[in-house]
Amino acid sequence: MEFGFFSFIVLISFFVLVLVVRKLTTFFKTYKPKLNLPPGPRKLPFIGSLHLFTGSNPPHRTLRDLAKKYGPLMHLQLGEVNIILASSSETAQQFLKTHDIDFASRSTLLMSEICCYGNKDIVFAPYGEYWRQMRKICMLELLSAKRVESFRPIREEEISNLCRWIVLQEGSPINLTQKICMTNFEIMARATFGKKTEEHVKFIAIVKEGMEFMSTFHIADVYPSIKVLSSITGLKRKVEKVHQETDRIIGNIIEEHRRVDAADRGNHEDLADVLLRVRDSGSLDLPLTIENIKAVLGAASTRSSAASKRKQRAIEINGYEIPARTRVLVNLWAIGRDPEYWEDGESFIPERFLEKQVDFRGNCLEFIPFGAGRRICPGISFAIAQVELALAMLLYHFDWTLPNGMKPEEMDMTEFSGVSARRNTNLYIIPIVRRPFSS
């Protein structure tokens, strides 16, 4: 009996010893010295700092508030993902200018991996020869000043259609947010694919659905090693459905373009025509496939430059260590309202730009709506031309009042809790024709 008990104790001790040895072996194999990371909030097991983003405050405001406490260079752990946040123009300079080549690749997300054909578009393509070639095509062919100017008739026609519709609604509240959004989609779709077709209308609908995915936080993206999460949440199925429909529509439009003889197009090339012409010219260092063209055309209508960057190798910034494969976010919203540069930065005071000349094309980092550095948004000229014309027409031809006697200061300016900081509710407003609009 005593011998049996003694044997049991020895057996248990042996198993405990084996377990301890395995734990120690694993520890020493994976041990890394403690890094001198930038300061940041306390991290909880498994979730990191995700609990800080569960309130009603939009993420960009939460990040701004955290930066006030921990500084303009901050470390966050969201699930499995390490994030470095830059919240001032000085820290943004380090990532977007000084060390921009080290941060020239984008973070891979489930949405971009599926919908961009394995990140083959311009926005999410890894920094390298393929990206440089696509960027060159984009700047010299797709979005050059000459090409953007060639789309002027499309912009004028669609914005004129918008104004004519508004004239008919004079004196009644209209959903201006929805109408401007649809006008923007129409312009982008026509510039990308040309004339309106039944597929054109379907494409706009699927693009809107895709943009909702891109603007929303997904738990699967902060736990990339747990592949099953995207299936459990239903995200993967929804994204694949959007991608399949987008692929079908763009495929049909490309086939239609390939059947049209170049002579029949004349000088009216859309973006699909340009990419097919470049592909058929045989002048590229890397061959351009139909899949590549689909990825670029899809991105032209659905993506923005507001994507996180991924660190390729370890580096030191401002005395802190930035590990390899760390995601970097630049809070453009916070920088554009930094009290060090902007007086009463959260108030709408357009006159401030008359007194202070600020370049918004990536040179003045206190105001970078299109980003800066190598991955600056290539569609700046296209966007400016579109916004300037629409804004000028709406202000020149109409006066505007709020419904039900509402005062401007009574408007709900709560922001959308997502990637973009747009107004959470649509703008309903009453148009009054000030200058007649001639067709």
Q: pLDDT digit string (tens) for 18-51? A: 445 554 555 444 445 678 999 999 999 999 999 9
> Sheet harboring 428-433: ordered strands across?
174-175, 428-433, 398-401
| In-domain check, residue 26 | yes
Q: Is the pLDDT of residue 2 over 80?
A: no
Residue 10 maps to a domain: yes
Q: Is 62 in a helix, a strand, or coil?
A: helix
Number of folded domains in the chain? 1
The region of weakest confidence among 2-11, 61-70, 153-162, 184-193 is: 2-11
Specify if 43 maps to a domain.
no
Is the pLDDT at 146 greater than 90, yes or no? yes
Is the Cβ–Cβ distance between 423 and 391 less than 8 Å?
no
Residue 129 pLDDT > 50: yes
> Does residue 21 lie within any of the structural domains?
yes
Any domain includes 6: yes
DSSP letter assigned to residue 202: H
**pLDDT tens sequence across 272-284:** 999 999 999 888 8
Tokens encoding 264: 């029949």
The rounded Cα 194 to chain-centroid distance in angstroms is 25
Within-domain flag for 114: no
Q: Stretch 122-128: mean pLDDT, rounded?
A: 90
Q: What is the pLDDT of residue 196?
A: 79
Q: Mention every residue, 6+ apart, whose C-beta is less than 8 A from residue 109.
A: 124, 218, 221
Residue 7: inside a domain: yes
- Is the pLDDT at 6 greater than 80, yes or no? no
Does residue 3 fall inside a structural domain?
Answer: yes
373: tokens are 């550095």
Take residue 278 and report the two structure tokens written for it.
């470049």
In this predicted structure, what is the pLDDT of residue 314?
81
377 is in an annotated binding site: yes
Determine the Cα–Cα distance for residues 356 and 340; give it in Å rounded to an integer: 14
CB 184 within 8 A of CB 207: no
Q: Which pLDDT does position 274 carry in this prediction?
A: 93
pLDDT at res. 306: 46
Query: Higher confidence at residue 391 or residue 284?
Result: 391
Range of the domain at 27: 1-31
Averaged pLDDT of the chain: 86
Give the alpha-carbon dihedral of 241, 244, 248, 253, to 10 degrees. Answer: 90
**Residue holding tokens 């199925």?**
237
State the Cα–Cα distance between residues 122 and 134, nearest whole angstrom. 6
Q: Any idea what the Cα angle at residue 140 is, between residues 138 and 145, rounded to 5°?
A: 100
Name the more confident of 396 and 421: 396
